[in-house]
Amino acid sequence: MSSIQLADQIFVLLKHWLVGRVPVSLQPVVGILITVIPIICVFPALFAITTILERKGLGRIQNRYGPNRTGPFGILQPLADGVKALTKEDIVPANADKVVHFFAPVVLVMLVFLAYAVLPMGRNMAAVDLDCGVLFFFAIGSGTEVAVFMAGWSSRNKYALLGAMRAIAQMISYEIPLILSAVAAIMIAGTLNLQQIVTQQAGYSGIFPHWYVFTPWGFAAFLLFIISATAESNRSPFDLPEGESEIIAGYYIEYSGFKFALFFLGEYLGMFSISAIAITLFLGGWAAPFSFLTWVPSWLWFFAKLVTMILCFIWVRGTLPRLRQDQLMNFAWKFMLPMALVVLTSAACWRYTEGWQRWAISFLVVIIPYSWLGHGMMSNRKLEQRKYRFAE
Amino acid sequence: MNLSFLIPAIILLVGAAAANMLRNLVHCVLALTLAFAGFALLYFGLGAEFLGLVQLLVYVGAVAILIAFTVLLTGGGTAGEQTVLSPRWLQGFLLAGAMFLLLGYGISKSRFTAHAATSVRSYPVSLIGDALITSYALPLEMLGVLLTVATIGGVVLAIREPRQASQSVKVDQ
Amino acid sequence: MNTELLGVPPDTITRREVIYDQEGETLEISMGPHHPSTHGVFRMDVRLEGERIVRLKPVIGYLHRNHEKIAEGTTYLGSIPYTDRLDYFCSLTNNWAYCMAVEQLAGFEVPDRAQYLRVILSELTRLQNHASAVGFLVQDMGASGTPIMYAFREREKILDLFEALTGSRMMCNYMRFGGCRVDLPAGWIDQLKALMKTLPAFLEEFEKLLVSNEILMARTQGVGVLSAKLAVNAGVTGPMLRATGVNYDLRKVDGYGFYPRFEFKVPLGEHGDVYDRYMIRVLEMRESVKILNQAIEQLPEGPIIDPKAKLRGFRPKPGESYGRLEAPKGELGFYLISDGSPNPYRYRVRPPSFVNLTILEDMCLGANIADAVIILGSVDIVLGEVDR
Amino acid sequence: MLGGGILKGLAVTARNVVEGFVSKERLTTVQYPEERVPQVEATRDFPFLVFDGEDPMAGLRCVACQICEKECPPKCIYIDKSSDKKPDATGKPQFYPARFDIDISVCMSCQICVEVCPFEAIKMDVEFELSTNDRFDDLLYDKHKLAKSNEYYNHVHPTEAAAVDTKLAVERAKAAARAAAAAQPKPAAVSPAPESGAQA
């Protein structure tokens, strides 16, 4: 085994070695623990890094420094935040449904962690190599709505209820284009297994990879997926459920201290996992972006892509204002859903044509409905940049 | 009886019992969600991954939320505590018992039972997919049409004449 | 105000009759006074059907500080610092309006240089007020602070100028009846010229960031529509009135100060929605830059205060006066009655934010709760002025 | 096309991020306790009392005329006039403030007191780090805490102080000349005035 392969498979080998050390009867349990523990350590750590990254990034976008007082360049800020969250008083409203109020963040974080079971974080690095991994991911993801409902309802707060209603309506609506745009990739890959979807994209023509995002349908599907993912993880510009300027914090308005931190964690972990799925489906998962870079360990590529996606989310958050509830719904049902179906058609065209024609056909199949729908959306409500008259 | 059956079964039973016996309707809905999840786990235990996941996606992700919203919108969430036994508990018990007997009879007569122990193996999803769009294409399409009709019906029921919001302000001179 | 001049029939009073939905289906929430986007301690009692507003009751008074009564017990000079605190974004225009009222009462002549300084400072005030108003408006739409930080970055430069001249960034307390307090310090004009060179680039960037943004257009166009008729009847002034298409700018109508000497245009809207109000402010900023450039060119030398003006122990002869000007938020007026004593007998402020706020419910009915927030933002209120 | 405006906005923010690293124009933040912006001459926050010479209490220019107390809009100045007279910096016997307190928790930094003072005795300070542990006693400044030297005044507001000094010197020279003229017939009353006038 070459050193490149060793670096690539180091975690897998380590796990095998460790499991081999224990008695046979304990091996399944130890194997599970060794797989699970890194996941529940690495991703919260990534969450901590992301909070500081987000605050720094937003700061830079807004011409500020961002937090820079705790530790060198403020890198200890997440630690300070964590200590603060842990030591804060845990306030439960007197009228709240205490049991449900307690379980809502627990259920959320539990479900979000479950989704990590199928993510391929490197070559041979998925906790469970499930045959229908994509489906598993979406099924678990849909469960988070229950947690949101629990939080919103149990707080007995009108803002919380409004936030929960918004969140659930939004999540259910955007789940459809999310899954449909994923179906395009699944259709081309011909499998629901995430590892296999990655291996299908891991080939190269020349130095360029066969990622689905570099095809017309794949690019459109990727954009649709990312937009839906943004909505699904309640990120700006779809952060209506917590719409700070309207309903203050939405469904977690009545949470404080560590429970609030759990919600925060759940939200970010949801964002990571859905970005990871987007990477897996369209950006070649752990595959290197150029053929001459394949010597870099696969898990490094995965995390590099993940961080890039997170940075894009931060960038978008720093730029865009928020949509309104009805516009959000209109966008989901009148634009995203038809476009997802169009992309599906385009992917089918790609599947059954050859050579340059497949590029042309699938491109046209995407772009014509897009411009038509986009124009329709703008002119329907007469949205335009206006000309103004001036009085002397 | 191994753990992989016992745990889902307990979850299922506890959830179902709680859904019946809790006194707050929203709690009942949450318990029902738990029961749905128990079902999904049972399917996993039987090796029917696909079915289990669909159960999760549809029942936990959509149906449970739908019921929760129905309860909320009809005021059940704030209607106060319900009594554990409804006035018509006897009819309910009779109906449930009859249903149980019927199902039990059906299962005991079924020819699947003989093979149940050996059939625990997972089917690849592609087989299910192939089956759905080849031999079961017509039922699938019919289901689709049925759902579409149901959706349209729901929309027709739910749609209201948009109330003239802007006209509710009268500007007199 | 001559309403026929504005092309609107002279109506008398507007009465409103709101049909409320059945109580059962609605949800009443109290937005504020501790709400992040009520721009201060302002409360809206909102009754919602779903997320649609069926009733909105503005509740004010949380910041009431008895301004008018205090001014009646204070000397004419001593009221000037209090006017700073009315609309604390635009202390200089407040100063000017008050001084204008006192000057009318006492018949002081303001020297040329002081007039120019007043125009310069008032246009700078307009620039920084509009920049931050637009930034806050987009902030209310949930833009996580980016536009407001850009606006504040430029606003800081203007505030630096204020500080260099008046000693304070916001509570300037600069104008006196009869002129201004101190003359320009050395290098101030150069600083201003340098700022005027960089400001258009900022306006450009701001427009690029937001004006063509589809989300912003979707959120603002057709939202919170205010008809010209209702606006005129309710006494709405400022950018809000001009967004409805009524050409009414006191700088043109009254021609107070030296405004007739400058060439500038008044941008007018058409639809009277939030987008128009937003754009009118953006366009007015460009016009302000134009006025400033002319004023810098023309600024004469000379005294800055009328030698007749007496600040301490000032007792105007009995009479009354009303001084008004086009503050960034609308018509700001000070009504004074003097009985010959050192204190005004009656002192009354006509605050633009307060008057503009009165039609909030009319604009919000039928809108989404998220719209109420941006409609409030587009009114551009400062609670210091609303509650006084 | 739908999405064009959004891309434009994204380009603007990206540009701001990049330029924030190279241009001071963009990233205007000043890291406060370590870095400070240069003091602006006209800045004002709370008033202080100017004294001439070495002894703060003896050299106070304030003669307890109580004009500022009356004119102060929020009425935050409390003055007790002395019952006796003491010679001021020019040696002329004057009343002096037995008590001169300013409640800076009430003061709104309007500098009306400075404008109305006929004796150039009260001026605006620039010191802004004034946090204390007691919001009542520690924020009520007495005359010992308020008294600051003319040198300090010259240091914080050089242009304004120079003008004030010139004006005072002219006035004092005039006063000295008048005193000298008045003193010609009665030389007994003159003694210390010319020296301390020259000192100032």
D1 touches chain C (CB under 8 A): no
Touch D-B: 3+ C-beta pairs under 8 A = no
- Give the structural domain span for A272: 40-374
Counted across chains B and C, CB pairs separated by less than 8 A come out at 27
Q: Are A59 and A74 in contact (CB under 8 A)?
A: no
What SS3 state is found at B14?
Answer: helix
Question: How far B125 CA sits from the closest chain A CA (Å)?
Answer: 7
Q: Which residues of D touch C150 (CB under 8 A)?
A: 16
**For the segment B33-50, what is each residue's pLDDT rounded down to a tens digit?**
888 888 888 888 877 778
Q: Which residues of D touch C75 (CB under 8 A)?
A: 71
Measure CB to CB from residue C156 to each of D9, D28, D73 and give the nearest one. Answer: D28
Measure CB to CB from residue D13 to each of A319, A370, A374 and give the nearest one. Answer: A319
Chain D CA closest to residue C209: D9
Q: Which residues of B touch C19 (CB under 8 A)?
A: 168
D166 touches chain A (CB under 8 A): no
Instruction: Quickly state the pLDDT bin for B69 (edges 50, 70, 90).
Output: confident
Phi, psi dihedrals of residue D44, rounded to the nearest 5°: -140, 150
Contact assignment for B124 to A138 by CB distance below 8 Å:
no
Measure CB to CB from residue A63 to each of C149, C209, C283 and give the nearest one. Answer: C149
A65 within domain boundaries: yes
B165 touches chain C (CB under 8 A): yes
Name the D residues in 130-169 with CB < 8 Å from any C CB. Answer: 159
Q: Which residues of A touch B65 (CB under 8 A)?
A: 145-146, 149, 168, 172
Instruction: Quickly state the pLDDT bin for C4 (edges 50, 70, 90).
Output: very low
Q: Which chains touch D (3 or more CB pairs under 8 A)?
A: A, C
Instruction: Quickly state the pLDDT bin for C3 (edges 50, 70, 90).
Output: very low
D13 touches chain C (CB under 8 A): yes
How far from chain centre, in Å, is Cα C127? 11
Q: Which residues of C touch B77 (CB under 8 A)?
A: none
Tokens matching residue C170: 């916001």
Chain C CA closest to residue D108: C81
Tens digit of pLDDT per residue, chain A (392 long)? 577 777 777 777 888 788 888 888 888 788 888 888 888 888 888 888 888 888 888 888 888 888 888 888 888 888 888 888 888 888 888 888 888 888 888 888 888 888 888 888 877 777 777 777 888 888 888 888 888 888 888 888 778 888 888 888 888 888 888 888 888 888 888 888 888 888 888 778 877 888 888 888 888 889 889 989 888 888 878 887 777 667 777 788 888 888 888 888 888 888 898 898 898 888 887 888 887 777 788 888 888 888 998 988 888 888 888 888 888 888 888 888 888 888 888 888 888 888 788 888 878 878 888 888 877 777 776 777 778 888 77
Contact assignment for C140 to A384 by CB distance below 8 Å:
no
Nearest to C64 by CA among C40, C32, C38, C29: C40
Q: Mutate one of A168, A384, A386 to test the C interface: name it (highest C CB count within 10 A).
A: A386
Residue written as tokens 């810098």? C296
- Per-residue model confidence (pLDDT) at position B99: 93
Measure CB to CB from residue A381 to each of C153, C221, C269 and give the nearest one. Answer: C221
Highest CATH level, class, for D47-175: alpha beta
A162 touches chain C (CB under 8 A): yes
Q: Which chains touch A (3 or more CB pairs under 8 A)?
A: B, C, D
Touch C-A: 3+ C-beta pairs under 8 A = yes
CB-neighbour burial class of residue D12 (10 A; exposed 0-12, middle 13-18, buried 19+): buried
Q: Which residues of C touch A378 (CB under 8 A)?
A: 214
Nearest to C371 by CA among C212, C143, C140: C140
Measure CB to CB from residue D124 to each of C146, C167, C210 and give the nearest one. Answer: C167
Q: Which residues of D touch A373 (CB under 8 A)?
A: 2
Q: Which chains touch B (3 or more CB pairs under 8 A)?
A: A, C
Q: Which residues of A touch D7 (CB under 8 A)?
A: none
**For the segment C346-363, what is each residue's pLDDT rounded down to a tens digit?**
899 998 988 888 888 888
Evaluate if residue C298 carries a pLDDT over 80. Answer: yes
Q: Which residues of C touch B171 (CB under 8 A)?
A: 14-16, 230
Tokens matching residue A102: 């307690």
**For the segment B11-34, what is each residue's pLDDT rounded down to a tens digit?**
888 988 888 777 778 888 888 888
pTM score? 0.82
**For the segment A104-162, what is each residue's pLDDT rounded down to a tens digit?**
888 888 888 888 888 888 777 777 777 778 888 888 888 888 888 888 888 887 788 88
Question: How many separate domains does chain A show?
Answer: 1
**For the segment C88-108, what is each residue's pLDDT rounded down to a tens digit?**
888 889 999 998 898 888 888
Question: How far B95 CA sits from the closest chain A CA (Å)?
Answer: 30
| Range in B115-124, C88-97, D134-143 with the lowest mean pLDDT | B115-124
**For the segment C248-260, what is each residue's pLDDT rounded down to a tens digit?**
888 888 888 888 8
Say which amino acid occupies C274: V
- Per-residue model confidence (pLDDT) at position C301: 85
**For the segment C319-340, what is each residue's pLDDT rounded down to a tens digit?**
889 988 888 988 899 999 988 8
- Per-residue model confidence (pLDDT) at position B98: 94
B166 touches chain C (CB under 8 A): yes
Contact assignment for D73 to C81 by CB distance below 8 Å:
yes
**For the segment D32-86, what is each residue's pLDDT rounded down to a tens digit?**
888 888 888 888 888 888 888 777 887 788 888 888 888 888 888 888 888 888 8
Domain B1-79 has CATH 1.20.120.1200: yes
ipTM: 0.77
Q: Which residues of A touch D20 (CB under 8 A)?
A: 60, 63
Instruction: Quickly state the pLDDT bin for B95 (edges 50, 70, 90).
Output: very high
Contact assignment for C247 to A64 by CB distance below 8 Å:
no
Which CA distances in Å does D105 have to B31, C86, C152, D108? 58, 20, 28, 8
Q: Are C147 and A61 in contact (CB under 8 A)?
A: no
> Which residue intervals of C7-145 are DSSP H helices?
67-72, 80-84, 91-106, 112-140
Q: Which positions in chain A have a beta carbon within 8 angstroms of at least one beta carbon in chain B? A: 97, 100, 130-132, 135-136, 138-143, 145-146, 149-150, 153, 161, 168, 172, 175, 190-192
Q: Which helix (H) or strand (E) holds B43?
A: helix B25-45
A15 within domain boundaries: no
Measure CB to CB from residue D17 to each of A61, A374, A378 and give the nearest one. Answer: A61
Instruction: Quickly state the pLDDT bin for C19 (edges 50, 70, 90).
Output: very low
Measure CB to CB from residue A131 to each of B49, B60, B62 and give the nearest one. Answer: B49
Contact assignment for D1 to A60 by CB distance below 8 Å:
no
Q: Which residues of C touch A319 (CB under 8 A)?
A: 143, 146, 209
Q: Which residues of A touch B50 (CB under 8 A)?
A: 132, 135
A29 within domain boundaries: no
